[in-house]
Amino acid sequence: MTDTSPAKAASAEKSAEANADAATPSKSYRRYVLVVLTLVYSLNFIDRQILVILQESIKVDMDLSDSQLGLLTGFAFAIFYVSVGIPIARWADIGNRRNIVSLAIAVWSGMTALSGLTQNFWQLLMARIGVGVGEAGGSPPSHSIISDYYPPEQRGSALSFYSTGVYLGILFGFLIGGWINSQFGWRAAFFVVGIPGFLVALLVRLTIREPVRGGLDGRALEAPATFGETLRTLREFGSFRLFAIAAGLNAFSSYGIGNFMPSFLIRSHDFTSMQVGTSLALITGIGGAMGTYFGGVLADRYGANDKRWYLWIAAIPGACSVPLMLSAVFVADPRLTLACLFFATMLGAFYLGPTIAISHNLVSPSMRAMASAILFFILNLIGLGMGPLVVGMISDALAPAYGSESLRYSLGIVSLINLVSATLFILAARKLLSDLRKG
């Protein structure tokens, strides 16, 4: 028999009101959530990229090759990051995303701190794998949380703001890492950037509320999708296949060049560790953050009437970054190198927010964390996994002919990949409208 008592009715009414309030949080609170999650993403990249600014010191201390550096900063991290990301995304689609993010921060921060205790290549490799496992629980749940705090028409801007954490993390990682390395050595740098993560994990756990799934999408919430269901859905979209690979190739160039740019400046322009940290912090951090943010803002503005702009905004600046990056690598004047690098980095960063946003628009709310995980699987396996490793291998192969300048030519070759990426983004845009109608 159905309970129709006044108390039961009042309780149901309060529950409905609570759900409505949760689905439409205040502007100030959702901005707070976005800022905190961006802080988390910044910390994610500080801990991920700190090795890059320290790698020349570690190379000397542990007698490593460029290929080993590429393995440490790229493939070893990426293969576990992308693989563990899939089951964690499934967990995020059915569980409490806030708690997952908080736990992930604690894990990757602890493994970063442990990196400072390593004594050889294999120990450092295992520590980096641990960082990758922890960081796998960061972005997919965060993407899903943000998409449930912001409506579709604001999602590109919100996800792009979040994605500026990539470059803010690089900015502070390079500044902190370069200074600490020059004053106290590379081991101390791992401790300094790793330990504060435990405080951020508590901040997330205690102050962020789990949002209602799909509350701002005006559609019925479906049962959480499995990995197989999400993968089959995404495979039906020809645009997704193309823009996911395009994003991966853009990241291939970005990670490959970015992870070896400190070594390039030290070897080819005689920069000190401190000079590298300061220069790249400002250039990569500010330039990349600007490009990432404006990519989302422009995509939301022009994509309001034509969603293909989300992919055009990714393609056009990426192609324009190529001649600037080639100039940065081959000019003799270090000041011109840094100026060209700033604008190349800014233009190359436009793609990230629009790519995430359009992938979320293709799927239902119950698939968003998994869709992000699949997108990041492709993006990071191609980009982070292969980019630094290929740059290191090309540099080692060219070393007999070009000596210490082999890295210059390796970076120039890899910069051309962004032209292929831009072409694929444009081809994806041709299929996007029909795919959105399917979704």
For residue 219, what pLDDT is reported?
56
Q: What is the pLDDT of residue 20?
A: 43
- Give the pLDDT band of residue 105 (cuts 50, 70, 90): very high
pLDDT at 370: 82
Contact status, residue 143 vs residue 207, Cβ threshold 8 Å: no
For 132-153, what is the mean pLDDT?
Answer: 87
What is the residue extent of each domain of the chain?
30-215+224-438
Establish how many alpha carbons lie within 13 A of residue 117's alpha carbon, considering only the half-sphere containing its beta carbon: 8
Helix 186-194 vs helix 27-62: crossing angle, to nearest 10: 160
pLDDT, residue 39, reads 94
Looking at domain 30-215+224-438, what is its CATH homologous superfamily? MFS general substrate transporter like domains (1.20.1250.20)
Q: Kindly tell me if the per-residue pLDDT of 187 is higher than 70.
A: yes
Say what the pLDDT of residue 230 is.
Answer: 86
pLDDT tops 60 at residue 307: yes
Give the rounded percent of residues in the chain with a pLDDT score beyond 90. Answer: 43
Q: How confident is the model at residue 220 (pLDDT cuts 50, 70, 90)?
A: low
Please report the pLDDT score of residue 7 as a whole number.
46
Res. 57 pLDDT band, cuts 50 70 90: confident
At residue 222, the pLDDT reads 63
What value does the mean pLDDT take over residues 210-217? 75
Q: Of 340, 263, 347, nearest to 51 (Cα)? A: 263
Averaged pLDDT of the chain: 86
215/54: higher pLDDT: 54
Is residue 217 very low, low, confident or very high in pLDDT (cuts 50, 70, 90)? low
Q: Which residues of 311-338 are buried (b: 16+ CB within 10 A; e: fewer)?
A: bbbbbebbbbbbebbbbbbeeeeeeebb
Which position has the higher pLDDT, 122 or 10? 122
Structure tokens at 163: 């994605």
Q: Is 436 exposed, middle or buried (0-12, 13-18, 19+ CB in 10 A)?
A: middle
Which of 313, 374, 316, 388 lies closest to 160, judged by CA?
A: 313
- pLDDT band for position 6 (cuts 50, 70, 90): very low
The reported pLDDT for the residue numbered 17 is 42
pLDDT band of residue 16 (cuts 50, 70, 90) is very low
pLDDT of 170 above 70? yes
Q: Is the pLDDT of residue 299 over 50?
A: yes
